A and B are shown apart, each in its own frame.
Chain A
């Protein structure tokens, strides 16, 4: 059973539409993260989320992005009005809690914006 489950595995959307990506981290850890990887480019940090609040965010994480954990389980990334350049793999991760900040990543959600 995967430790971090992401849905959907692939979503195709029209530019300007809202998208919600979901993550179910199976653990009691409090730190969660979103990263993205544009095709052929580096994995990039978007945001960290601790105790139901944003802990840290990158320059990429602008006003069109938001995160929440509404029911204490699912951890969501919302993109309010998608742009073509938002097409990427989005990875959810959680902290393993083992010493240094070691992350367990989900398999990712591929977002394609047309």
Chain B
């Protein structure tokens, strides 16, 4: 069974601080996607990483895919209260068949 371990599960930080969320697996994925989910809504795609070692930036968010395509990280610089939410990583194992991590619930205190 393929698993994606995501950590930390909860993160509460002050506005302006930096944070990193990790996503690890023993399996290789053809792509890894990061989503953000608000309560009562579906996951919304942030980024997809496909190539081992790839780094993508989305404003204050930096996403990295491990060289072996088994792990990924999300780094947020100078967190804002609007960054709050559940961050999910998902590894692709088939045509649109994604294995999701349990998520990291982020809260940012003003």
The reply to whether chain A is a binding partner of chain B is yes
Inter-chain contacts of A48 with B (CB < 8 A): 94-97
Within the assembled complex, what's the spacing in Å between the Cα atoms of A95 and B30? 16
Within the assembled complex, what's the spacing in Å between the Cα atoms of A44 and B1? 13
- A43 close to B31 (CB less than 8 A): no
**B48 in the interface (beta carbon within 8 A):** yes
- A101 close to B96 (CB less than 8 A): yes
Interface centre among B30, B35, B98 (most CB of A within 10 A): B98
**B92 in the interface (beta carbon within 8 A):** yes
Size bracket, chain B contacts: 20 to 34
Q: Which residue of A42, A56, A93 is within 8 Å of B94 (Cβ)? A: A56
Give the number of residues in A that approach B within 8 Å (Cβ atoms). Answer: 28
Interface string of B74-110 (1 = CB under 8 A from A): 0000000000000010101011111111110000000
**B16 in the interface (beta carbon within 8 A):** no
Known contacts A100-B50, A107-B40; A45/B97 CB under 8 A: yes
**B43 in the interface (beta carbon within 8 A):** yes
- A106 close to B42 (CB less than 8 A): yes
- A105 close to B43 (CB less than 8 A): yes
Interface centre among B41, B96, B103 (most CB of A within 10 A): B96
Minimum CB–CB distance from B22 to chain A (whole Å) comes to: 16
Inter-chain contacts of B97 with A (CB < 8 A): 33, 45, 48, 56, 58
Within the assembled complex, what's the spacing in Å between the Cα atoms of A95 and B98? 12
What is the interface of chain A, defined by CB distance below 8 A to chain B? 4, 31, 33, 35, 41-45, 48, 50, 55-56, 58, 91, 93, 95-96, 99-108
* CB<8 Å pairs between A and B, sample of 6: A33-B96, A42-B101, A56-B97, A91-B43, A95-B95, A96-B45
